[in-house]
Amino acid sequence: MKSVSTIAVAGAGTMGQGIVQMAAMAGYSSLLYDVSNEALEKAENAIISNLDKGLAKGKVTENQKKSTLSNIRFISDLDEVKADFIIEAIIEDQSVKQELFSRLEKINDKDTILATNTSSIPITRIAAGMKYPDRIVGMHFFNPAHIMKLVEVIRGASTAPEVVETTLAVAKKMNKVPALAKDSPGFIVNRVARHFYVESLKLVEEQVADVSQTDRILRASGFKMGPFELMDLIGVDTNFSVTESMFRSFHFEPRFRPSRLQQQKVDAGHHGRKSGQGFYNYED
């Protein structure tokens, strides 16, 4: 099993912020990379806010806050993204992820592990064409990453056993509960959860129920959040791109067909909490 002391996270969005926070809290020397300095500034503020909330609840000490922040470097130069273990948390697009990994392979050691936080794209597809496909593994976190315990670890067709073992160990050190999943579209959770969203969207499109009614009914059935509340939290655009990816991966199986209603929200820029408006309004 590979020894890991440094972790880099590519992508300073909601997922990247949470992942790098957990890496730093686990004691890893951590990097957070993004092309946008504005995104990096927002990420730093979000991490500080998360830690302050933990302080207020007695779950984080002042020393833990200080050490966590001192463990993180915020960088916008890709050439500085060098680490023992790198996790990408960028757009859910296979070609974009492959381009990033291809560039990272060139500037890192051949034994650096490249983990993808994809929620739907098979790891084998992402690893195809890479110089070291045996170093590529799936490490799918759940939103919000600094709170949710589950992490899916996915072995691609070429992933080396020691890479899987190292990824499981890293997840545990980050205080996560890893679940080993086979390499198929959506893995375990998103394959099951997709219909939580898709069928709820159909209910609203067909005027069986409205958005708030659907959320109330599902909360009353035992879910912590309704589907529309959860889509707004995750990001309506992110959720839609995952559905599109799975629809293609399952060869356009009708049960995975993306919703026109959700497409309209994306086109309007109503991406949920992060944009101030989604299925609900957060601007007030």
For the chain, domains (ranges, CATH) are: 6-181 (3.40.50.720), 190-275 (1.10.1040.50)
Q: 152 an active-site residue?
A: yes
Q: How far is CA 85 from CA 57, 80, 279, 281, in A?
A: 31, 14, 37, 39
The model's pLDDT over 39-97, given as tens digits with 9 standing for 90+, comes to: 999 999 999 999 999 999 999 999 999 999 999 999 999 999 999 999 999 999 999 99
Task: For Cα atoms 45, 46, 48, give the angle at the middle one, nearest 5 degrees.
Answer: 65
Catalytic residue, chosen from 30, 117, 119, 241, is 119
Q: Which residue has the tokens 């833990």?
A: 64
Buried b (16+ CB within 10 A) or exposed e, 200-217: bbebbeeeeeebeebbee
> Are 58 and 87 within 8 A, CB to CB?
no
Return the exposure string of 259-268: e unless at least 16 CB atoms fall within 10 Å of the residue's CB, then b: beebeebbee
pLDDT digits (tens, 9 = 90+) for 231-271: 999 899 999 999 999 999 899 999 999 999 999 999 999 99
Q: Which of 88, 92, 105, 152 is catalytic?
A: 152
Q: Is the pLDDT of residue 129 over 90?
A: no
Percent of the chain with pLDDT over 90: 94
Annotated active-site residue 5? The verdict is: no
Out of 50, 108, 190, 259, the active site residue is 190
Q: How far apart are alpha carbons 56 and 211 in whole angstroms?
A: 33
> What pLDDT, on a 0 to 100 scale, did the predictor assign at position 143?
86
49 is catalytic: no
Residue 283, pLDDT score: 85
Q: What are the helix (H) ranges across 26-92?
A: 37-56, 62-70
Closest CA to 156 of 184, 189, 119, 197: 184
Percent of all residues in the chain with a pLDDT value above 70, rounded to a whole number: 100
Q: Is the pLDDT of residue 173 over 80?
A: yes
Active-site residue 146, yes or no? no
**Active-site residue (options: 50, 140, 200, 244):** 140
The Cα 80–Cα 171 span in angstroms is 24
Give the pLDDT of residue 87. 98
The H or E element that residue 203 is part of is helix 189-205
